Structure 1
Amino acid sequence: MTKGVGGLDEEALADAAELFGTANRADTVNAALRDASARLRRVKALAELVEIAKTGQFDELLDKERRP
């Protein structure tokens, strides 16, 4: 792990820039932060759906004969 100015992992930064198609450090870091934030929101939403499923609210979807 190579750290550059600001303590950033330069190798990880280069990989992230390639993944996000960004051209500079700030854009790459911002894209990675947005991606992490979106991932957290999805994890929270999934946990919420799991709790709803535990109440049985989705059970009718399991009945394949009643599906449209």
Structure 2
Amino acid sequence: MVDIDEDLLSEAARLLGTTTKKDTVNAALREVGDRMRRLEALLESQEMAERGEVAWDLWEEEQAAEKGVAARSTAQQAGPGRPA
């Protein structure tokens, strides 16, 4: 048996959109794991940038190109005379 703070459990259930204690605890554990993996990846990318291993200029060019493709696609879908 585990003693769980009911107020924290209720808040977690509300934030996670869960309805049972089991689902809330499992979702919270999953969220912690996901969050820690994202943090580790962020820290690793920061370390790579500090070592000069990240080509930010190429990344920025890719992002600009992707935005351009998305904008053209939206404009084409809207059709002539209709706002995108």
TM-score by length of 2: 0.63
Using the aligned pairs only, state the percent identity.
42
Distance 2:54 2:29 in 1: 33
**Aligned amino acid, residue 43 of structure 2:** A
Aligned-residue Cα RMSD (Å) equals 2.2
- Structure 1 alignment gaps of length 5 or more: none
Q: Higher RCO, 1 or 2 (CA under 8 Å, sep at least 6)?
A: 1
Query: What is the rounded CA distance, in whole Å, between the counterparts of 1:33 and 1:60 in structure 2?
Result: 34
Greater CA radius of gyration, 1 or 2? Answer: 2
1:1-36 deviation digits (Å, cap 9, x = unpaired): xxxx72101000000101111110000000000000
Corresponding residue number in structure 1 for 2:12 = 16
